[in-house]
């Protein structure tokens, strides 16, 4: 395969509809949440990624991608922007620390299967004091990180542009890299959801994890098999629904917020048809062939029913069927909390696929009240 053909393939699979689907489908094979996925995980050799050889190959592939991009005239423009340097570091550090955690977890799982203690096991009587042991280590880390920031500020130019000009809006106009995930969510959700509710749920969800977790295993040591469902859910939310959205916003969003492959030229005149429609329009106009009802509640009734079923009926069905054991184990309070955060997390990929598949903009659209879902 020629270099040009390889770049074309990468550009094609970088389209969010393809790359997001590939990540979603492949994810349970790398972080198997059930016995069936674990069997395929072992049979097809996905576990090899969490070995030393797999880690080296992964870092080499990431490096090869960035080297290829550095020498490409189109990708180089985006890749070498000082503001995007943290994203490159993020990709490397994300892969390395995930690999390191899984590598240690698999080592401990093998030791536990053999009836041995995990590598991190310490005698309960062997205590490490906060002062001076922990504070001493943290102080050294603080000094090293301060040196790194000073060197970085000297070698890398600050991404300061010309003074803001109301007559010339940047195209594309992007948020700081740490907010690009939220900016990408705004494509699929109203600002009160993507900019207020979801960030609040993320923060509260992370705070609630210690209180919802009743699994005493895996406390104080790395393990995967003893917490595989929890690790799968957390990793999917963190990697696919957050970090991946930041990468999309950084490298794949170009002029007019259109999608571009990493090696594709950012054509400001690129036109993409956006025939987005609301659920009420799909139902009343396209399906029934009628005009939209004048009464707002009647017009959006199907959307309200869909949201009600998703938030209130679906959990009850799950309690009676698939998650009956989970409900009995965790109790009503913890189970309701898990469902609130879980359904909120699943709402993002569901809405993304609805937008891609049928151009659905809002499930409930009431611009008269500034309320859209």
Helix (H, G, I), strand (E, B) or coil at 312: helix
Question: Has residue 310 got a pLDDT over 90?
Answer: yes
* Pair 325, 235 in one domain: no
For residue 130, what are its two tokens?
A: 């906060």
C-alpha to C-alpha distance for 324 and 319, rounded to whole angstroms: 5
User: pLDDT of 7-46, one tens digit each?
Assistant: 999 999 998 889 999 999 999 999 999 999 999 999 999 9
* Pair 197, 319 in one domain: no
Lowest-pLDDT range of 72-81, 266-275, 279-288: 266-275
Domain containing 215 equals 3-159+173-257
Contact status, residue 351 vs residue 185, Cβ threshold 8 Å = no
Asked whether residue 50 is domain-assigned, the answer is yes
Specify the number of domains making up the chain. Answer: 2
C-alpha to C-alpha distance for 163 and 147, rounded to whole angstroms: 30
Asked whether residue 272 is domain-assigned, the answer is no
Closest CA to 197 of 372, 360, 367, 339: 372
Asked whether residue 268 is domain-assigned, the answer is no
Mean residue pLDDT of the chain comes to 89
* Pair 363, 223 in one domain: no
Contact status, residue 270 vs residue 256, Cβ threshold 8 Å = yes
Out of 60-69, 176-185, 285-294, the most confident range is 60-69
pTM of the model: 0.88
C-alpha to C-alpha distance for 194 and 197, rounded to whole angstroms: 6
* Pair 111, 231 in one domain: yes
User: pLDDT of 159-207, one tens digit each?
Assistant: 777 787 888 888 888 888 888 888 989 989 999 998 899 999 989 988 8
């Amino acid at each position: 395969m020629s270099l040009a053909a390889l770049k074309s393939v990468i550009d094609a699979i970088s389209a969010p509809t393809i790359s997001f689907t590939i990540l979603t489908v492949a994810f349970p094979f790398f972080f198997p949440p059930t016995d069936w996925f674990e069997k395929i995980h072992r049979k097809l050799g996905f576990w090899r990624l969490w070995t030393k050889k797999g880690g080296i190959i992964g870092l080499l592939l990431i490096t090869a991608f960035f080297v290829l991009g550095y020498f490409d005239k189109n990708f180089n423009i985006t890749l070498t922007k000082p503001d995007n340097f943290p994203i490159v570091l993020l990709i490397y550090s994300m892969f390395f620390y995930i690999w390191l955690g899984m590598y240690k977890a698999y080592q401990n799982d093998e030791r536990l299967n053999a009836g041995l203690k995990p590598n991190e096991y310490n005698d309960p009587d062997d205590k490490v004091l906060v002062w001076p042991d922990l504070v001493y280590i943290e102080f050294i880390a603080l000094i090293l990180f301060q040196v790194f920031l000073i060197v970085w500020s000297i070698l890398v130019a600050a991404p300061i542009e010309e003074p803001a000009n109301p007559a010339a809006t940047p195209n594309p106009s992007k948020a700081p890299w740490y907010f690009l995930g939220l900016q990408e969510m705004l494509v699929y959700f109203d600002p009160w959801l993507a900019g207020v509710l979801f960030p609040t749920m993320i923060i509260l969800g992370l705070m609630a994890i210690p209180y919802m977790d009743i699994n005493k295993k895996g406390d104080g040591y790395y393990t995967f098999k003893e917490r595989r469902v929890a690790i799968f859910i957390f990793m999917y939310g963190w990697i696919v629904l957050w970090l991946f959205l930041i990468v999309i916003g950084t490298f794949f969003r170009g002029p007019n917020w259109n999608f571009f492959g990493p090696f594709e030229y950012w054509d400001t005149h690129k036109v993409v048809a956006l025939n987005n429609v609301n659920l009420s329009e799909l139902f009343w106009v396209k399906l029934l062939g009628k005009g939209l009802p004048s009464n707002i509640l009647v017009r959006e009734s199907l959307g309200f029913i869909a949201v009600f079923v998703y938030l209130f009926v679906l959990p009850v069905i799950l309690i009676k069927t698939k998650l009956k054991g989970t409900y009995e184990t965790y109790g009503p309070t913890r189970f309701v909390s898990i469902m609130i955060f879980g359904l909120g997390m699943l709402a993002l990929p569901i809405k993304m696929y609805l937008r891609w598949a049928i151009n659905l903009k809002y499930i409930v659209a009431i611009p008269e009240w500034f309320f859209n879902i």
